[in-house]
Structure 1
Amino acid sequence: MDKAPRIVAELGRPETPAETAARRAENTRKHRANQTVRNLVLALASSLGIVALLVLVVVRPEQAPLARVNWATVAAQYQSQIAEPLATPILPPGWTANSATLQTIAPGEANWRIGFITPTQQYVELVQGIGSSNGWFVDQLGRAKPTSATTIDGVAWQVYDRREAQDPGNYAYSLGTSVEMSRYLLHGTAPNAEVATLAAAVAAGIAAAPAKTSPVTPSAAPSPSATIKSE
């Protein structure tokens, strides 16, 4: 026995074969659309789950701690290559170095560099130019002019304060002096007081072999009565 035609409430009559076909086609379309959305959601959730698992399971290497360098040991290794004593400042606890190198420029001319990290986690570098010409400071500082002068533990220094300059980098604050065959430059981002601490340690090393010191460019130097300002 044939099934009675479906009565459509909105029409108040049985639907025609064409209407039945259209209804079934629409239902099929909606079903497929729902399946597509559901599949996309499941695929996305699965992908996110895999990513989360990889993040949790895969061991990521930790960043290596900053290297610490014993500058006195490195200086002892290089000392046989240079006649002038290499600076090995003795500093209070909290000071570390992450680099110490001797750069040979020419026969009898070299730069001894120590990069220090201060107790406030700022940077200051000691550069000792050995056998260098008068243009050495220009090579290091460019066209920077001294802003004042100071004396720390008997050693006269030129001060180059460029903290207010635009992007001074590691030359925000510098001290420079010369002693016989060596020229010394301290420069970095550390507070004035910490740079002064390093300058005092350098002065103590210089005092071990007393020598008359002179500012870097005496003709351009202000009065050496200025004092280091603490920050």
Structure 2
Amino acid sequence: MALEISEHTGIRHHDRVSPNTPQPTGRPNARLGQTMGDMARSIAVVLAAIGVIMVVIHRANPDPVRVVTINAPLILANMQATFPVEVPQNQSGYRLTSARFSGTPTPVWHLGYVTPDNAYVQLEQSATTNNQFLKSQLVGTKNVGSTEINGLKWTIYDGQDQDALVRIVDGVTTAVSGTAPIDELRRVAKSLATQKQTQLL
């Protein structure tokens, strides 16, 4: 505000507006709209980057179950074992996680599977009736009876952490054990067939 003294009218008041003072235009702020648009685009870019990272992490952490093939161990077992090597047949959804044949000190054929329900089933065969071998297969179990499978007697072992079925024929001990239900172990035992009846998959 400025004061002006006039000889005729006395003191006058003048309201002066600085030329640098912004004046309202009644129109939307274009710069504000541009800023909001930039922010939205930035958020979209960040979300896309997060999506890419999640895909990479998922691919870097595949199914922890490591599947193996039976071919080489089965050929070796068939060549060196002094007993008919057997393999479970037609177990849909089973994943073979271990397969090996050890010739010393006692020949042992081993197969380990993860079932579709993520339980564990293993087959152990050895040309021995040694109690020590049996104990190693039956840790934490007790004899609760027997059953007949394919015309042969199998002893049933029940335990808190695992169950087992054991067959001893002609000096060869065969054990089917694991965390799967006993009925599933029966099915595996019933499906056993020698290598000559088994396709190499």
Would you say same fold, with TM above 0.5? yes
Taking structure 1 as reference, are residues 133 and 69 closer, same or farther at Cα in structure 2, changes over 3 Å only? Answer: same
SS in 2 for 1:147: strand
CA offset at residue 186 of structure 1? 1.1
Structure 2: distance between partners of 1:94 and 1:78? 24
Contact 1:75-1:88 within 8 A present in 2 as well: no
Contact 1:95-1:119 within 8 A present in 2 as well: yes
Q: Does 1:158 align with 2:155?
A: yes
Match runs of 1:41-56 below 5 Å: none
Per the alignment, residue 218 of structure 1 pairs with none
Q: Deviations over 1:7-32 (max 9, x none)?
A: xxxxxxxxxxxxxxxxxxxxxxxxxx
Per the alignment, residue 215 of structure 1 pairs with none
Q: Does 1:146 align with 2:143?
A: yes
CA offset at residue 116 of structure 1? 1.3
CA offset at residue 124 of structure 1? 0.7
| Aligned match for 2:181, one of 185, 191, 194 | 191
Structure 2: distance between partners of 1:174 and 1:117? 16
Contact 2:142-2:158 within 8 A present in 1 as well: no
Structure 1 length normalisation: TM-score?
0.53
Structure 2 length normalisation: TM-score?
0.60
Match runs of 1:1-231 below 5 Å: 59-60=56-57, 62-65=60-63, 66-71=65-70, 74-106=73-105, 109-142=106-139, 144-162=141-159, 165=160, 168=161, 172-202=162-192, 204-205=193-194
Task: Report percent identity of matched pairs.
Answer: 25
Runs of 4+ deviating beyond 3 Å: 54-61
CA offset at residue 72 of structure 1? 5.2
Report the aligned-residue RMSD. Answer: 3.0
Q: Deviations over 1:42-88 (max 9, x none)?
A: xxxxxxxxxx9x97776446224323233355311332232322212
Structure 2: distance between partners of 1:123 and 1:149? 22
Structure 2: distance between partners of 1:134 and 1:161? 17
CA offset at residue 93 of structure 1? 2.2
Structure 1: distance between partners of 2:73 and 2:103? 15
SS in 2 for 1:68: coil
Structure 1: distance between partners of 2:180 and 2:140? 22
SS in 2 for 1:146: strand
Contact 1:84-1:181 within 8 A present in 2 as well: no
